[in-house]
Amino acid sequence: MSDNIPASAVGLKEGSKAKAVRPVQKYLETFGYLESDSNPFATDEVFMRRTSADHVLEEQPAATRGELDSATIEALKQFQAVAGIPATGEIDSETREAMNAQRCGVPDTASALGEYVTGAGKWSTNHLTYSFQNYTDDLTRGEIHWAIDHAFSLWSAETPLRFRRVADGTSGDIVIRFVTGDHGDGSAFDGPSGVLAHAFLPVASEPIRGDSHFDDAEAWVVAIPITSGIDLVTVAAHEFGHALGLRHSSDSSALMAPFYRGWHRYLSSDDIQGIQSLYGGPGRLENATWIHGNAALIEHENAVDFERKYGFYNRIVGKANSTNWIHFALPTPVIEDGRRLSLDRFMLRAVTGSKATLRDVHIRDGERVVALLNGVNRSGVMPFARFGVASMPAVRWGVSVSLGFDFGSGTNGDRRVDLISAGFDYK
Ligand SMILES: [Zn+2]
Ligand SMILES: [Zn+2]
């Protein structure tokens, strides 16, 4: 892990001109907390920041270069507030650690605490395209396609937004690139760790708005559980939040928080409120079909301690420390009024005990997999959980959904899953 901020920065006092002050100021400049000079065009750095479109920020206070002055201390307090640590304005070890953490390269904005931030424009259409300019060698093409599809599906599940991939090398609304170092947009990547990726907000001009760049110096991974490397699904979903118009949230549980703290393949309520303030909610169902929980098929009957159908729902208690698959075949209208329907989203009504977790959601049309959502990690009351099929392929043979569950140890109540209803909406 790269340490931008040296240990010698910890404990420096106001007025200090120690060598370690400058890296702290550089960090605060890079991420939008500090203007390095009263003349905004005095350095390349500031010029780049002004012209690079995701960096259109309000005026920040000027600091004296290399001196821990009051402007730098003020900026430190703002950073600490966003990072969720006490806003003392002092460079303590916690602050140094936060500045050396893996994060997104898009600057933060001083904002109301614990809230999403918009004001970065939005797209005028709900149907966006994306394309790959290139790929990383860390993963296969298939893995990358599934990861990107998964990332988009988090946003499509809760909004009217839909995302269609167009041919590699063409210019989709959102162009995905894996690059290293200086790659021509004024925001060079920094090698392994540190900054992982960045994306251009919709306020940026064409053609770069929406484009999402990933630092190929990172080791990108997709397989769950992740022991080393950076989760492409999490980082891509975060960057697409920027591409759609969200800035960083200072709610530390949000996907749009600026720091990478391991894999996080879901939207928090803050993210959902943010994206819905721009594009609205998921809208009404059009051709939804539902079946009751008692239609579920359990793959490993011998890994179940208890199963009973209560009227229309199904209660399953998994054996301690087991995994299982539960399958639903959903009633599927294929053609309506002579028109082939499209797969839109899966909906689940279920309740789990505290030691039962919905881990994976796999959606198939016939034998073809159309969504491979691994690591969704939902537990507790799911009154209406949504899982998008972001690309909306045409339905051909009929939909089945496989739900992967993990059961920990604990009482029967802790290891229970009550399956109430499963549904699918077709457009
Ligand atoms: Zn970000
Ligand atoms: Zn870039």
For residue 79, what pLDDT is reported?
92
The pLDDT tens digits of the residues spanning 114-140 come to 678 887 899 999 999 999 999 999 999
Average pLDDT over residues 19-32: 92
- pLDDT for 51 beyond 70: no
- Indicate the SS3 state at residue 422: strand
Q: Which residues are catalytic?
A: 239
Report the percent of the chain where pLDDT is more than 90. Answer: 79
- What are φ and ψ of residue 337, in 5° steps? 50, 40
Q: Which amino acid is at 232?
A: L
For residue 52, what pLDDT is reported?
38
Distance in Å, CA 177 to ligand 2 centroid? 8
Residues 118 and 154: beta-carbon distance below 8 Å: no
Which ligand is nearest the CA of 105, by number?
Answer: 1
Q: Worst-scoring range by mean pLDDT, 41-45, 55-59, 313-317?
A: 41-45
Beta strands in 51-126 (DSSP E): 103-104
Distance in angstroms (rounded) separating the CA atoms of residues 199 and 214: 9
Say which residue, 322 or 108, is predicted with more confidence.
Answer: 322
Average pLDDT over residues 375-394: 94
- pLDDT for 163 beyond 80: yes
Average pLDDT over residues 277-297: 94
- pLDDT for 425 beyond 80: yes
pTM: 0.90
For residue 55, what pLDDT is reported?
42
- pLDDT for 56 beyond 50: no
Average pLDDT over residues 296-317: 95
For residue 110, what pLDDT is reported?
59
Q: Which amino acid is at 85?
A: I
**Tokens 């200090």 correspond to what residue?**
16
For residue 50, what pLDDT is reported?
35
Q: Worst-scoring range by mean pLDDT, 54-58, 172-176, 215-219?
A: 54-58
The pLDDT tens digits of the residues spanning 79-100 come to 998 888 999 999 999 999 999 9
For residue 60, what pLDDT is reported?
66
Q: Which amino acid is at 411?
A: T
Residues 275 and 267: beta-carbon distance below 8 Å: yes
Average pLDDT over residues 364-389: 95
Ion ligand 2 contact residues with beta carbon within 5 A: 185, 213
Distance in Å, CA 187 to ligand 2 centroid? 6
Distance in Å, CA 236 to ligand 2 centroid? 14
Average pLDDT over residues 343-368: 96
Distance in angstroms (rounded) separating the CA atoms of residues 353 and 343: 30
The pLDDT tens digits of the residues spanning 176-216 come to 999 999 999 989 999 999 999 999 999 988 899 999 999 99
User: For residues 33-65, b (16+ Cβ closer than 10 Å) or e, as one string?
Assistant: bbbbeeeeeeeeebeebeebbbbbbeebeebbb
Distance in angstroms (rounded) separating the CA atoms of residues 66 and 244: 37
Distance in Å, CA 235 to ligand 1 centroid? 8
Distance in angstroms (rounded) separating the CA atoms of residues 52 and 295: 54
Distance in Å, CA 183 to ligand 2 centroid? 6
Query: Which band of pLDDT confidence, cut at 50, 70 and 90, is reported for residue 113?
Result: low
Ion ligand 1 contact residues with beta carbon within 5 A: 104, 106
Query: Which band of pLDDT confidence, cut at 50, 70 and 90, is reported for residue 285?
Result: very high
Query: Which band of pLDDT confidence, cut at 50, 70 and 90, is reported for residue 40?
Result: very low
Average of per-residue pLDDT values in the chain? 90
Distance in Å, CA 198 to ligand 2 centroid? 6
Q: Which amino acid is at 178?
A: F
- Indicate the SS3 state at residue 241: helix
Give Rg (Cα) of the chain: 24
Which ligand is nearest the CA of 244, by number?
Answer: 1
